[in-house]
Structure formats: structure tokens, C-alpha cells
Amino acid sequence: MDVLDDLLAGAKASDGVFNLTIMDPPWALHIVEQAPLALASLVRGSAWIVRDGIEPVRMEEGDVAIVRGPEPYIVGDEPETAPQLRIHPGGRCEPLPGAPVDYSARLGVRTYGGRPEGAAMVISGTYRLDGDISGRLLAALPSVLVVPAADVAGHVMETMLAEIQSDEPGQQSVLDRWLDLALITTLRAWFARPESHAPGWYRAQSDPVVGPALRLLHDDPAHPWSIGELADRANVSRATLSRRFTALVGEAPMAYLTAWRITLAADLLRATDDTIEAIARRVGYANAFALSVAFKRVRGVTPTTHRRSRDRLAA
């Protein structure tokens, strides 16, 4: 398993919300879904994504965009176009003042707009993400990214379009899996682009020395790794591994391992009722005390306090 696999494992779609919107110029959507991560593609037409704090981002037909939430944004034919529709959490569509009266009409399953033949067709899906593993993935992404149609698997989006317009048994599960596939192919294409400024852990995976070491840490984080054993497994000296790992990833191997173990523990504390002792052993610590010391050093709170924050949110 590589690093991206591990991070994507915490970002699987579950009960994703899907929309297909069809409009004619001038058109714009105000997206206030508050989703941690959204994916959108233009089936027809071109558009701009407008968001506070960044320059408008252009999309052409077939391009795929990933938007990191939860702040609102606008998708429209021009940056200056006033929105006619507002998309709320859950995919609820609200017509805004000045919008054509039919813009909030259902044209079919999960489909809104004025007429089926409209000049612009936007397909979108949103993720419900939580947890520290997903947070590491989100932290590696810009506010808005767009991957050109030529660089993404177009047939993935075409198939998802057909599924969005269907209403068959098990449809939600089918859509969730297609959304997962679309996200994976888009992220992989984005990180491969020079302008992506891909995070160190992604670039390092292709390094003949650091890549194998990273995979070892992710395959078995509970193993009592040492810099000496990692270097032996990578067939280099300890000094060489430490130097290359730090240069490419941005932190030393043991520091990276500690951060990854604490990330895994944080998610287990939130997602399970396992004892701290059991979680400690699962992520590579001898006992609950050792995990507590490391957790507080890295996060500033104890594992118990971290878990109580989950309980307060649930309440």
C-alpha cells in the first residue's frame, strides 16, 4: 500500500450527494453545501469557479474540478454573473431572485434546470469526510484545483453521468463507488502536474530509496522500526536514508512515523470504542502510557481528551 492509498482509504464516499444542473447563459450556481470535498465536471459548456481569497479558476468542457470545503463558492459562465440557484447541504436547490421560474424544476432524477438541451451541464458530487487521515489528504490540496479533460479518465465521468440520471436498486452505493474512482483518477492526474506542487510524501514515492521506506512504514506502522532497519531494508546507509527522506518528505523518517502513528490513533479514538491500550499496541506503542506521552507531545492533549471531544460532538 502506498501513502495515497492510505489517505484515500479514509476518504471513501458514503451517502454522497449528487447533482446534475442544466442552464443557459447567463448562469451561475452559488454552492453552500459545506462539504469538506466536492468534485465537479462540465459535461457541456465552460465555466469559472469563483471563491473569496483566490483568483477565478477556468473550467472547459470535460475538465474535472476538486473543491476543498467547507467555504461557499460560485460556478458560473462568467466571474461576474450573479447566481440564479443556490445549492444547499443535501443537494437542495433554491431559486434566487431574478432566476427564470423553471430553474429549480426537476428535469429528472437528481437533475435540475431550465431545459434538457441547455448550453451548460454541470455534474457534481460531494464527500462527507472526517478524521485525521482525511485531514492529511485535504491539507495537501489547494482551495480549488482543475484537471484538464485530456488528463483524466473521461469515461469515468460519462458513466457517472448516466448513473446520476438512473434510479435503480442500490443506486447510492453505485454512485459512491464511481465518485471514489473519479476522485482517485483526478487526484493522481493533479499530483502528476508540475503546477500541483505535490506534497513531499507523494513525490517521494517514486524515489528508489525513500519510496520503499515509506511503503514499509505504511504497510506496518506498528512494527518497532528503527532508522537502521529501514536503511537495511532500503539497501542504503542510515545517513543516506535520513538525508534523502528528510529532503524529499520534509521530516526525518522517525518523525514521519510518529506523526503517522498519532494520526492513526486519533482516528481510532474517534471511530471506535477500543481501549487506549488496544489502540496503542495497534499503532506501535508498547502500552497506553507510551501512546499518551507521544500523543500529548504531538497534539497537545491526551488521547482521553481527544476521545471526549468526539463524545461532545455526538451529544
Q: Can you tell me the mean pLDDT for 68-83?
A: 92
* Amino acid sitting at position 286: A
Structural Rg of the chain based on CA atoms: 22
Q: Are 227 and 254 in contact (CB under 8 A)?
A: yes
Rounded Cα distance, 307 and 47, in Å: 43
Specify the higher pLDDT residue, 87 or 57: 57
Tally Cβ neighbours within 10 Å of residue 285: 23
Tally Cβ neighbours within 10 Å of residue 75: 27
The helix/strand/coil state of 219 is helix
Query: Residue 273's Cα: distance from chain center in Å?
Result: 26
Rounded Cα distance, 38 and 44, in Å: 19
pLDDT band at 75 (very low <50, low <70, confident <90, very high): very high
168 grid coordinates = 435503480
* φ, ψ (nearest 5 deg) of residue 86: -120, 130
Per-residue confidence (pLDDT) for residue 315, from 0 to 100: 52
Per-residue confidence (pLDDT) for residue 172, from 0 to 100: 72
H helices present in the chain, as ranges: 3-9, 132-139, 154-164, 171-191, 200-203, 210-219, 227-234, 238-249, 253-271, 276-283, 288-299, 303-314
296 pLDDT higher than 90: yes
Rounded Cα distance, 199 and 204, in Å: 9
Q: Can you tell me the mean pLDDT for 91-118?
A: 69
Query: What percent of the chain has pLDDT above 90?
Result: 44
Q: Can you tell me the mean pLDDT for 215-235?
A: 95
Specify the higher pLDDT residue, 222 or 99: 222
Give 181's contacts (C-beta < 8 A, 6+ positions apart). Answer: 153, 156
Q: Are 42 and 61 in contact (CB under 8 A)?
A: yes
